[in-house]
A and B are shown apart, each in its own frame.
Chain A
């Protein structure tokens, strides 16, 4: 149980284009979904928290106009990196939670912007 999927698992895009990453909870309804960014050999950095039907809450320093988050249903959240640049290249991971503190993570999406 508590399976979270992410799509795509990896993507290469050209500078200036936008990329959408999907996060789905497959066997449970997620009260809250989270988006993280992870740099090589580092811990997770929380980007934003979203609840279904509400606007996402972004962490300090994360540009909400650049990283658009939509949480359309209890099983789906999307992160769109707009006008991507090489410095946006990273490993993006989503997670979902229900009523408890535990988070269930997706497998991650590796974004490379050329």
Chain B
């Protein structure tokens, strides 16, 4: 069974702090996506990473795809209350699209 394990599960930090969320698997993926979901809404696509070692930046968010394309990380610099939400990684598995276990982030003002 292909799994995407995210860590940490929960994170509560103060505004201005930095944080990193990890998405790990034993499987190799051709690409990986990160989404953010706010309460009561559907997930919103943040980024797709395709190449091993690839780094993409989206304002204060930095996404990296592992060299072996088995894992990914999301780093947020100087977190703001607006970054609060559920962060999900996802990837196309052998037979279906799978989502990570999720990281719930709360940024306190």
Residues of B within 8 A of A105 (CB): 35, 42-45
Select from chain B the residue with minimum beta-carbon distance to A9.
Answer: B40
- Known contacts A43-B100, A44-B99; A101 and B91 CB within 8 A of each other: yes
Q: Are A93 and B42 in contact (CB under 8 A)?
A: yes
* Cα–Cα distance between A6 and B31 once the two chains are bound (Å): 27
Residue A67 is within 8 A (CB to CB) of chain B in the complex? no
Residues of B within 8 A of A34 (CB): 97
* Cα–Cα distance between A43 and B88 once the two chains are bound (Å): 8
- Distance in Å: Cβ of B42 to nearest Cβ of chain A: 3
Residue in A43, A46, A101, A110 whose CB lies within 8 Å of B33: A101
- Known contacts A43-B99, A43-B100, A46-B97; A106 and B48 CB within 8 A of each other: no
Q: Are A95 and B42 in contact (CB under 8 A)?
A: yes
Contact-residue bracket for chain B? 20 to 34
The number of residue pairs between A and B whose CB atoms lie closer than 8 Å in the complex comes to 52
- Distance in Å: Cβ of A99 to nearest Cβ of chain B: 12
Q: Which of B35, B41, B43 has the most CB of A within 10 A?
A: B43
* Cα–Cα distance between A6 and B41 once the two chains are bound (Å): 11
- Distance in Å: Cβ of A110 to nearest Cβ of chain B: 7
Q: A44-B99, A105-B35, A105-B44 are in contact. List 9 more A-B contacts (CB 8 A).
A: A41-B104, A42-B102, A95-B43, A100-B48, A101-B31, A102-B33, A103-B33, A108-B42, A110-B40
Binding site for B on A (CB under 8 A): 2, 4, 6, 34, 41-44, 46, 49, 91, 93, 95, 100-108, 110
Query: Could you list 23 examples of A-B contacts with CB < 8 Å?
Result: A34-B97, A41-B104, A43-B86, A43-B99, A43-B101, A44-B99, A46-B99, A49-B96, A91-B40, A93-B42, A101-B33, A101-B48, A101-B91, A101-B92, A101-B97, A102-B33, A103-B33, A103-B90, A105-B42, A105-B45, A107-B42, A108-B41, A110-B40
Binding site for A on B (CB under 8 A): 30-31, 33, 35, 40-45, 48, 86, 88, 90-92, 96-97, 99-102, 104
